[in-house]
């Protein structure tokens, strides 16, 4: 039996999955905190506990995400785009486009029929259009992240943010609250801003259906529907959208590494 | 004759009164809240009291800043770029380039004889503005006004890799938890902001004299960091926050003269109270 682990250390959450002969056996998600190394350790402990194993039983581990270097027990690192693509191929083999909304970045990935990455685009250097924008405004509105979608779904008149900048968005949200604008309309305005950013990324890579949505942002139902409206399509959303990239990392762990040219044994 | 300039910025509202010789009679500043109109009135009233004047004594009022449309008692609205250029020129007649770092924007201006001849600004993003320091100070649990002093105690500067203020907030938390001394992080934030502003300013051809204004110029650490990032000396007014309002008052003086020549002087009496949304609360 071969046990493989994938660990995806994101800026907000760390995700891990354990697979047995390519079947998902267990998974775990925790807040990344400031110490990525400690988070990775907690995840490994929990995964082997779920599988009833000891750490020595693991066949291989691949790490990914912004904190991939902190997964000291990983055998290899893999790029997060490749991991997301691989994870989606496992859940929705028919998907030709994936949108991944994470805290640090929102990414659009185009896939070939074989599930290989053919094109991608992502937000960088800036929290506009990433899940962090939701976290920031949820904090202003004093709502739990899990309640952000349900709150937004009750909106009748979403506000429009004047810039994409999450810092300015934060002050704008505070101003709107003080003007008596209802929280649901502010939350829905955030989802709209994110949906429009995600849609513009997808248009950059080219949209080919079926299109899947993953990452923590996909836990926000109202955001899923807003993106569907914006793109005019239905999205495939996995039951556990947050662990797709970690699942991909575990799948890659189960694939023999191809040595880079010139690095193999002489 | 007296003139007033009022600058409703994103963070602070400033009012100055001058006589017809351009001499500064009073200056008042207060934080801009969501209720621009009320605050504009309060700051204006404060400036009048300080100078011992009544609103009807003022011959012409120019409003500027991003909230300038919310100053109903003003005779004219003028963009902050023109007002800053004029204000800075009145303080430093040799000025050719000015950088104004405000709470939510940063303006780099080329000035010729007090006239604006070119500019670049930040674009819909808090990077390069005072908000960068304000937000990270809040994350670090320190007061904005203490940042310069804290930075001066640094033994080295930590590299801050994120331009985005939101990501920089996360980054400073991670740096603190890694055990980086606070002063080294704060020094790193100063140089990060300064290099961002310098990169923007360098899109213009920077010519001396170079002036630094805006609330951020009150932070001595930022003045040092700007000198270093630009590799040049910068002039800083005694009251860096007031240049926009001062320029507005100077433009008010000129506009009055023009209006007098054209016979288009504003008529009727001005009342601060009547112009506000919040008249009933004020009474």
In order, the DSSP letters of A98-135 are: EEEE-SS-EEEEEE-TTS-EEEEEE--SS-TTSHHHHH
ipTM: 0.74
Measure A28 CA to nearest chain B CA, in Å: 23
Q: Which residues of B touch A128 (CB under 8 A)?
A: 125
Omega within 30 of 0 (cis) for the link into B209: yes
Measure B87 CA to nearest chain A CA, in Å: 27
Q: What is the pLDDT of residue A264?
A: 46
Report the residue from B125, B131, B177 with minimal CB separation from A34.
B177
Q: Could you tell me the CA-to-CA distances from B105 to A208, B14, B123, B221, B246 in Å, in that order?
A: 40, 16, 8, 19, 19
Q: What is the mean pLDDT of residues B116-127?
A: 89
Measure A174 CA to nearest chain B CA, in Å: 9
Q: Which residues of A touch B165 (CB under 8 A)?
A: 166-167
Give the strand pairing for A97-101 and A106-111. antiparallel
Most A CBs within 10 Å: which of B10, B166, B171, as the mutation test of the A interface? B166
Q: What is the pLDDT of residue B279?
A: 35
Q: What is the pLDDT of residue A176?
A: 87
Between B69 and B274, the higher pLDDT residue: B69
Q: Which residues of B touch A132 (CB under 8 A)?
A: 166-167, 170
Q: What is the pLDDT of residue A136?
A: 92
Q: What is the pLDDT of residue B34?
A: 63
Domain boundaries, chain B: 2-83+242-282, 93-236
Q: What is the pLDDT of residue B83?
A: 96
Q: Which fold has domain B93-236?
A: Nucleotidyltransferase; domain 5 (3.30.420)
Q: Which residue of A has its CA nearest to B177?
A: A34
Backbone torsions φ then ψ of B147, nearest 5 degrees: -60, -45
User: Quick check: do B2-83+242-282 and B93-236 share a fold?
Assistant: yes
Q: Which residue of A has its CA nearest to B165?
A: A167
- Name the nearest CA neighbour of A248 among A21, A11, A79, A60: A79
CATH superfamily for A1-92+243-257 is ATPase, nucleotide binding domain (3.30.420.40)
Q: What is the pLDDT of residue B267?
A: 75
Report the residue from B34, B164, B170 with minimal CB separation from A178.
B34
Q: What is the pLDDT of residue B66?
A: 83
Determine the CATH number of domain B2-83+242-282: 3.30.420.40
- Name the nearest CA neighbour of A205 among A123, A113, A83, A104: A123
B277 — pLDDT class (breaks 50, 70, 90): very low
* CA dihedral of residues A168, A171, A177, A180 (deg, nearest 10): -80
Q: Which residues of A touch B131 (CB under 8 A)?
A: 167-168
Question: pTM here?
Answer: 0.80
Give the strand pairing for B106-112 and B97-101. antiparallel
Report the residue from A34, A125, A164 with minimal CB separation from B174.
A34
B154 touches B187 (CB < 8 A): yes
Tell me: the pLDDT tens digits for B178-227? Answer: 889 999 999 999 999 999 999 999 999 999 999 999 999 999 999 999 99
CB-CB under 8 Å, B125 with A126 = yes
Measure B167 CA to nearest chain A CA, in Å: 7
* Residues of each domain in chain A carrying CATH 3.30.420.40: 1-92+243-257, 93-237
Quick check: B112 contacting A, CB < 8 Å? Answer: no
Cα angle at B14 between B12 and B16, to 5 degrees? 170
Specify the DSSP element, H or E, that contains B38: helix B36-51
Rounded distance between C-alpha atoms, residue B63 and residue B248, angstroms: 7
The tens place of each residue's pLDDT in chain A, 266 residues long, gives 899 999 999 988 999 999 998 899 999 999 988 788 999 999 999 999 999 998 889 999 999 998 999 999 999 999 999 999 999 999 999 999 999 999 989 999 999 999 999 999 998 888 888 999 999 999 999 999 999 999 999 999 999 998 888 988 988 888 888 888 999 999 999 999 999 999 999 999 999 999 999 999 999 999 999 999 999 999 999 999 999 999 999 999 998 766 555 554 44
CB-CB under 8 Å, B164 with A127 = yes
CB under 8 Å to B97, separation ≥6 — which residues?
A: B108, B109, B110, B111, B201, B204, B206, B207, B208, B209, B210, B211
**A-B interface: how many C-beta pairs under 8 angstroms?**
51
Quick check: B231 contacting A, CB < 8 Å? Answer: no
Does the domain at residues A93-237 carry the CATH identifier 3.30.420.40? yes
Q: Which residues of A touch B174 (CB under 8 A)?
A: 34
Mean pLDDT of all residues in chain B? 90
Report whether pLDDT(B169) > 60.
yes
B278 — pLDDT class (breaks 50, 70, 90): very low
Q: Which residues of A touch B162 (CB under 8 A)?
A: 125
* Dihedral of alpha carbons B101, B103, B106, B111, sign: negative
Report whether pLDDT(B280) > 90.
no
Rounded distance between C-alpha atoms, residue A186 and residue A222, angstroms: 13
Q: What is the pLDDT of residue B15?
A: 96
Report whether pLDDT(B123) > 80.
no
Quick check: B34 contacting A, CB < 8 Å? Answer: yes
């Amino acid at each position: 039996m071969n046990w493989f682990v994938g660990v995806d250390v994101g800026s907000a959450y760390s995700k891990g999955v354990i697979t047995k002969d390519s079947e998902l056996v267990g998974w775990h998600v925790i807040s990344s905190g400031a110490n990525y190394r400690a988070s990775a350790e907690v995840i490994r402990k929990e995964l082997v506990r779920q599988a009833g194993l000891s750490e020595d039983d693991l066949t291989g581990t691949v790490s990914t995400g912004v904190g991939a270097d902190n997964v000291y027990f990983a055998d290899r690192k893999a790029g997060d785009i490749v991991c997301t693509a691989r994870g989606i191929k496992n859940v929705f083999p028919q998907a030709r486009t994936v949108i991944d909304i994470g805290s640090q970045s929102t990414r659009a990935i185009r896939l070939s029929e074989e599930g290989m990455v053919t094109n991608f685009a992502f937000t960088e250097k800036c929290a506009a259009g990433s899940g962090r924008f939701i976290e920031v405004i949820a904090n202003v509105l004093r709502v739990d992240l899990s309640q952000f979608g349900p709150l937004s779904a009750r909106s009748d008149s979403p506000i429009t943010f004047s810039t994409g900048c999450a810092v300015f968005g934060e002050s704008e949200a505070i101003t709107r609250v003080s003007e008596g604008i209802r929280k649901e309309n502010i939350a829905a305005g955030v989802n709209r801003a994110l949906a429009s950013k995600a849609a513009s990324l997808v248009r950059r890579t080219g949209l080919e259906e079926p299109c899947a949505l993953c990452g923590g942002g996909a836990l926000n139902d109202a955001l899923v529907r807003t993106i569907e409206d914006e793109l005019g399509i239905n999205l495939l959303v996995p039951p556990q959208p947050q662990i797709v990239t970690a699942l991909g990392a575990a799948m890659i762990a189960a694939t023999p590494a191809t040595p880079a040219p010139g690095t193999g044994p002489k | 004759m007296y003139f007033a300039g009022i600058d409703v910025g994103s963070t602070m509202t400033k009012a100055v009164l001058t006589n017809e010789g351009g001499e500064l009679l009073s200056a008042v500043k207060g934080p801009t809240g969501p209720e621009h109109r009320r605050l504009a009135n309060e700051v204006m009233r404060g400036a009048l009291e300080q100078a011992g004047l009544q609103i009807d004594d003022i011959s012409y009022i120019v409003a500027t800043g991003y909230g300038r449309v919310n100053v109903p008692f003003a005779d004219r609205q003028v963009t902050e770029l023109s007002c800053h250029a004029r204000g800075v020129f009145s303080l430093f007649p040799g000025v050719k380039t000015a950088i104004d770092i405000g709470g939510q924007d940063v303006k780099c201006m080329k000035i010729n004889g007090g006239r604006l001849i070119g500019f670049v600004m930040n674009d819909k993003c808090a990077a390069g503005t005072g908000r960068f320091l304000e937000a990270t100070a809040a994350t670090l649990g320190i007061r904005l006004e203490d940042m310069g002093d804290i930075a001066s105690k640094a033994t080295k500067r930590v590299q801050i890799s994120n331009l985005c203020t939101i990501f920089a907030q996360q980054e400073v938390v991670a740096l603190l938890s890694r055990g980086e001394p606070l002063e080294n992080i704060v020094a790193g934030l100063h140089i990060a902001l300064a290099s961002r502003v310098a990169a923007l300013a360098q899109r213009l051809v920077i010519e001396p004299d170079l002036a630094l204004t805006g609330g951020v110029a009150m932070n001595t650490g930022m003045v040092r960091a700007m000198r270093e990032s630009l590799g040049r000396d910068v002039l800083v007014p005694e009251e860096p926050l007031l240049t926009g309002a001062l320029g507005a008052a100077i433009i008010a003086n000129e506009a009055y003269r023009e209006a007098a020549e054209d016979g288009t002087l504003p008529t009727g009496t001005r009342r601060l109270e009547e112009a506000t949304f919040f008249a009933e609360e004020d009474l």
